[in-house]
Chains A and B, each alone.
Chain A
Amino acid sequence: MKGLVFGKYIPIDSIIHKLDPRGKLIGLILMIIAVFIPKSWWAFLVIGLLVLLALILAKVGIKMIVQSFKPMIFMMLFLLVINSLTVKTGDVLFTIASVQVYSDAVFNTLFVIVRLMLMISITTLLTATTKPLDLTLGIEWLLKPLELFKFPTHEVAMMVSIALRFIPTIIEETMRIMDAQKSRGVDFENGSISSKIVSILSLIVPLFSVAFERAYELADAMEARGYVPGAKRTRYHILKFKYYDYIFIFICLATMVFSILTRIYL
């Protein structure tokens, strides 16, 4: 669980942390479009540099981002093998065990890999610099137009924010129960399959009972504080766009336009 970087908020102070979550969400959407459109290395170079700049500004550390790539290595290798076997255009680069590897196969794979790496960097950047609760506020705001169709935006946002809020709690609880069972001689890493099943059971059963207990307690607490689903609610923190949010969105928009233009003209 210690290697779990993806989706973790890093509580430090930086310009990127200060940006409005709604702006960051819009930025995320624009940048993802920008990453998936182009077919030229120039566009990737520009996007890559921008992402790198944002990473440096956010002070989250390049090491952390590199760590979040690790789970992808297997997928990348798999992709390379499949592409090498199926794509047969371009020049023959080399031959392994009577399979001819064409240049397009390698380039296609590289494209996909670069896109994925950029996308992971961007999303990790968002989650690392935005508090989960701010993120749900942003999502709620973005979903606002759906209210026209009677979509319960507030309730959905509340559910999402409760779910997000309890992820760290549940992880903490999991670690604690794991520690308690380790003290009773459970070995979560080694052992036969049957003993592994028992060790997992010794974790899951208490976890479920704790989760249910917490859910009841939370429901009681919300009711005690007068929460009524669907009621009109006001907010203590009101999100406000500042000049730097507009600059940020403008940069993201410009990047997207640039990458569309490279697709058309390059």
Chain B
Amino acid sequence: MSISFKSLSHIYNKDMPYAHKALDNINLDIKEGSITAIIGETGSGKSTLVEHLNALLLPDEGSLEILDYNIVANQKQKFLKPLRKDVGLVFQFSEYQLFEETVIKDVIFGPLNFGFSQQEAINKSIEALKLVEIDEKYFNVSPLELSGGQKRRVAIAGILACDPKIIVLDEPTAGLDPAGSKQIIDLFVSLNKTLNKTIIIVSHDNEMVYNYCDDTVVLSHGKVVYHGSTLDLFSDQKLIEEFHLLLPQIVQFKNELTENGFKISKEARTIEDIVGEVIKQVKK
């Protein structure tokens, strides 16, 4: 049970004069229970890749194994609904998918579609809304009256309420303030740690990627050019230059400390880790 792309290609506008190969022979295994980041320049195929994960797009060549489902190119798929229940996709600017009269009605919409009973759906929804820290007093308010960050969290609750095994996030923090972003990222990290959900995050925010993601996939022109540990990626000068990566501040700080004679281990991720190591070395 894992996520595994096998020679998968996807072509937009096939048979048109301006056909475009968005994904080109992707071979990729994403570990279950990990937090994996997918990064790459605009147009490198990130969104196309994640839309395959719950069969919004189907491969034109190759196949994708995910959980117990196997999606093969040019075959009619019969298990779309159970697959979409198990793989929750949180879209970019997901607040635009809200449409019901009240917050709670909007959140139970997903679970009801996936065949949960009314009571089960309500229970799951309340649970999900609590997870995203939406206060009970908002449950019967129209979602359109909430603030941007709250709307985003309600939309995320709508996905979490379906109880997915894999959660895919496409730029979950785009357009949010730092506090709102951190709240959302912390939520997914804790879902990963406590409930062992596999989390896949598409992001431009290398700070966030460096701080929270175990593994990173780098896409370029529809091809996977790197897949491995995030720490390895950001400590390899050659790779950083090759992919034109923006260095996270923490890494810049680590590099400066190293230049000044401190020995900072690769695993030091947060400012606390670094300070701890510096203190130890100063005390010696």
Q: Which residues of B contact A61 (CB under 8 A)?
A: 16-17
B91 within 8 Å of A by Cβ? yes
Q: Which residues of A contact B109 (CB under 8 A)?
A: 184, 202
Chain B: which residue is nearest A182 at the CB level? B56
- Chain B interface residue count, CB cutoff 8 Å, equals 26
B89 within 8 Å of A by Cβ? yes
Chain A residues numbered 1-21 whose CB sits less than 8 Å from any CB in chain B: 10-12
Q: In the complex, are the beta carbons of B97 and A185 less than 8 A apart?
A: no
Whether A180 contacts B96 in the complex (CB less than 8 A), given A10-B17, A60-B17, A185-B84, comes out as: yes
Task: Give a binary string over B98-110; 1 marks a CB under 8 Å from any A CB, 0 the rest.
Answer: 1100000000011
Chain A: which residue is nearest B92 at the CB level? A176
Task: Give a binary string over A175-205; 1 marks a CB under 8 Å from any B CB, 0 the rest.
Answer: 0110111111111000000000000011011
Chain B: which residue is nearest A204 at the CB level? B99
Which of B18, B91, B99, B113 is within 8 Å of A179, CB to CB?
Answer: B91
Q: In the complex, are the beta carbons of B96 and A210 less than 8 A apart?
A: yes
Q: In the complex, are the beta carbons of A206 and B84 less than 8 A apart?
A: no
Chain B residues numbered 176-213 whose CB sits less than 8 Å from any CB in chain A: none
A77 within 8 Å of B by Cβ? no
| Distance, CA A202 to CA B114, complexed state (A) | 15
Chain A residues numbered 144-194 whose CB sits less than 8 Å from any CB in chain B: 173, 176-177, 179-187
Q: In the complex, are the beta carbons of A179 and B84 less than 8 A apart?
A: no
Q: Which residues of A contact B114 (CB under 8 A)?
A: 185
B15 within 8 Å of A by Cβ? yes
B94 within 8 Å of A by Cβ? yes
Q: In the complex, are the beta carbons of A185 and B17 less than 8 A apart?
A: no
A131 within 8 Å of B by Cβ? no
How far apart are A2's CB and chain B's nearest CB, in angstroms? 8
Q: Which residues of B contact A204 (CB under 8 A)?
A: 99
How far apart are A131's CB and chain B's nearest CB, in angstroms? 15
Q: In the complex, are the beta carbons of A182 and B84 less than 8 A apart?
A: yes
Q: In the complex, are the beta carbons of A181 and B97 less than 8 A apart?
A: yes
| Distance, CA A182 to CA B91, complexed state (A) | 11
Chain A: which residue is nearest B168 at the CB level? A183
Q: In the complex, are the beta carbons of B98 and A206 less than 8 A apart?
A: yes
Q: Which residues of A contact B16 (CB under 8 A)?
A: 10, 61, 64
The count of A-to-B residue pairs whose CB atoms sit within 8 angstroms is 67
B126 within 8 Å of A by Cβ? no
How far apart are A55's CB and chain B's nearest CB, in angstroms? 12
Which of B51, B54, B96 is within 8 Å of A206, CB to CB?
Answer: B96
B222 within 8 Å of A by Cβ? no
Q: Which residues of B contact A209 (CB under 8 A)?
A: 96, 144
| Distance, CA A201 to CA B97, complexed state (A) | 11
| Distance, CA A208 to CA B15, complexed state (A) | 33
Whether A177 contacts B84 in the complex (CB less than 8 A), given A12-B18, A63-B15, comes out as: no
Chain A: which residue is nearest B56 at the CB level? A179
Q: Which residues of B contact A176 (CB under 8 A)?
A: 91, 96
Between B18, B91, B97, the greatest number of chain A beta carbons within 10 A of the residue's beta carbon is seen for B97
Chain A residues numbered 132-148 whose CB sits less than 8 Å from any CB in chain B: none
Which of A64, A183, A187, A202 is within 8 Å of B99, CB to CB?
Answer: A202
In the A-B complex, the 9 residue pairs with the smallest Cβ-Cβ separation, listed nearest first, are: A185-B113, A205-B99, A184-B110, A180-B97, A183-B89, A185-B114, A180-B91, A179-B56, A202-B99
Interface residue ranges, A against B (CB under 8 Å): 10-12, 59-61, 63-64, 173, 176-177, 179-187, 201-202, 204-206, 209-210
23 A-B contact pairs sorted by A residue (CB < 8 Å): A10-B18, A59-B17, A61-B16, A63-B15, A64-B17, A179-B56, A180-B94, A181-B97, A183-B89, A183-B91, A184-B113, A184-B158, A184-B159, A184-B162, A185-B81, A185-B84, A185-B85, A186-B113, A202-B97, A202-B99, A206-B97, A206-B99, A210-B96
Interface residue ranges, B against A (CB under 8 Å): 15-18, 51, 54, 56, 81, 84-85, 88-89, 91, 94, 96-99, 109-110, 113-114, 144, 158-159, 162
A179-B56, A182-B84, A183-B91 known, 8 other contacts, Cβ within 8 Å: A177-B96, A177-B97, A180-B91, A184-B113, A184-B162, A185-B113, A205-B99, A206-B96
